[in-house]
Each structure stands twice: as C-alpha cells, then as structure tokens.
Amino acid sequence: MDRNLTSEQIEEIRKFQKNEITEYYIYTRLSRKEKNEKNSKLLENIGNDEMRHYLFWKEISNTEVKPNWFKVFKFYWIARIFGITFGIKLMEKGEGGAHKSYLNAESYVPEARQIALEEDGHEKELIGMIEEKKLEYVGSIVLGLNDALVELTGTLAGLTFALQNTRLIAIAGLITGIAASFSMAASQYLSTKADGNGANALRSSFYTGLAYIFTVVILILPYFLFTNYFVCLSLTLSLAVLVILFFNYYISVAKDLDFHKRFWEMFAISMGVAAFTFGIGYLVRIFLGIDI
C-alpha cells in the first residue's frame, strides 16, 4: 500500500508489527493451554485481534516480521506460573507506550487511531472478563501474609533483643509461627463459613494458612543460617520488605490497584510493630534480668 511514507515511518510500523505478532503468539499459546473454556475463547479472541492488527500493518509495510520469541517465552511462563490475569496485565503495562505511538502514527496512517482505541478499550474489556480462581482468594492470601508479617517481624524483633541467641530465637519463632498459622487458617474457615460461603471456606482457609507458613519460613530462615542476631534481624526485616514489595506489586498489577499506597501502608505497619516490640524486648531483658 503506497502512502508515501518515510523510512523512519516504515521502521516504526515494523515495530508495531513485531509487537502485534508477538502478542498474538502469547495469547494463542495461552488459549491452547487454558482449561477454562470461557477464558480460552477470550484469549483466542484477543489473539485474533492482534493478528488482524498485524496484517493491517503488514499491508502498509509490505514486510513480514518475526515475533520476539524471548518475549513470547517470558510472558507465557509468567502467565502460567503467576496467573493469566497478572501475566497479561504485566505485558500490557509494559506496552503502555504503544498506545501513544499509535496515536502519533495517526498523522501518516489515519486508521492507527482506531487500532489504538481497540487496544485500549476492547482488549482491556476482554481481559477484565477473564475468570481466575487465584484472584478469588486474594483476600485470604492478604490476610495470611499481613498477619504473618506483622506478628512475626514483631515477635522476632522482640525475641532478638530479649534472648540474643539465634537458635533459641529461631525455634521460638518457628513454634509461634506454625501455631499462629493453624489458628489463622481455622479462624478464616469459621469466618468464611459464618458468612454463608461454606463451599469456599476450606479453600479460603488453606490459602490463608499457606500464605502464613510461607511468610514464617522466609522470615525465620536467617536465624537458622547465621549466628549474629543483629545480622539475622536485619536480614529478616529486609526479607519482610521484599515480601511486601513483591506481593503488593502482584496485587497492584492483577487488580489495577495503587501500588505505592498499598506498599507504604503495609511497610509502615510491619516495621512500626517490629520497632515497638524490639523496644519491649529491650525492656524485658533489662527489668527481668534475662541473660542467656
């Protein structure tokens, strides 16, 4: 198709092509592996849109473009491991500049605006329709993670100054953490059942308990590996921040929430409790005369 385009404009169009054909392969591969029929069809429809856009740009550039196979591999496995919704939204988040580029291309390809609208509107609408079990239990996971982070960082900080023995701190923290995880899972089960959602009560409590135990293991690990209790506490607090960072990033992408607000809120609560209980541990050691 002759539009009297410059070499720079043709090169820009080839980039559009590469992006569209890459995403076509990602959506198509995910569609084939998806067990949920509705989700599979939605992914197939989005993939077909990407192919249609690719063919449109190909007609203008008159060039065949290969996909970015590394990107196909990367986002396919991110979606398979962390969930389709997270994988797709993370990919689309990274392509935020593509929408602006399409609008800029409108000056030499008027149809580019329509493609930009389809990318930003119709495809996002389809992505929002995807049903995913993992995201249904985010509340349960948040409960387990939050409680474990606040309770364990506080407990370990207090025990660190009170006991000053990494082995004792690790054992005491582990016993406390495991007991608390079962208690939290049981409470979540009873709470969910009381709300009239008995069918999901067991699974909900499972996710809460699993998230709690996972956090307990991560936070206590330094005390089993090192002998300097201040080094252990520093590593534990650093790991707590990483858990907060990763989980809130995951939720903010998958559920379109404000990452910074959620991160700093959770960070302030966890570190505030840790600082407070560290002070309590110091006072307990002084006034009770603990010397181990």
Residue 69's pLDDT is: 94
Angle at 55 between CA 128 and CA 117, to 5 degrees: 40
Residue 94's pLDDT is: 67
Tens of pLDDT along 24-76?
999 999 999 888 888 888 889 888 989 998 998 898 888 899 999 999 999 99
131 membership: H or E segment, kind and range: none
Residue 10's pLDDT is: 86
Mean of all residue pLDDT scores within the chain: 82
Domain ranges for the chain, please list them: 7-132, 137-288
97, pLDDT greater than 80: no
Residue 256's pLDDT is: 79
Residue 145's pLDDT is: 80
Interatomic CA distance for residues 15 and 57, integer angstroms:
10
- Residue 205's nearest CA partner among 217, 221, 191, 220 is 191
- Residue written as token pair 């080094």: 231
Report residue 100's pLDDT band, with 50, 70 and 90 as the boundaries: low
- Residue written as token pair 């009873």: 190
Interatomic CA distance for residues 170 and 219, integer angstroms:
10
Report residue 205's pLDDT band, with 50, 70 and 90 as the boundaries: confident
- Most confident by average pLDDT, 69-78, 83-92, 104-113, 266-275: 69-78
- Residue written as token pair 């996971």: 141
Residue 27's pLDDT is: 92
Residue 95's pLDDT is: 63
Residues of the chain above pLDDT 90, percent = 14
236, pLDDT greater than 60: yes
Average pLDDT over residues 179-187: 85
126, pLDDT greater than 90: no
Residue-wise burial string across 203-218, b where 16 or more C-beta atoms lie within 10 A, e elsewhere = ebbbbbbbbbbbbbeb
Which residue type is seen at 144?
G
**pTM of the model as a whole:** 0.76
260, pLDDT greater than 70: yes
Length of the chain: 292
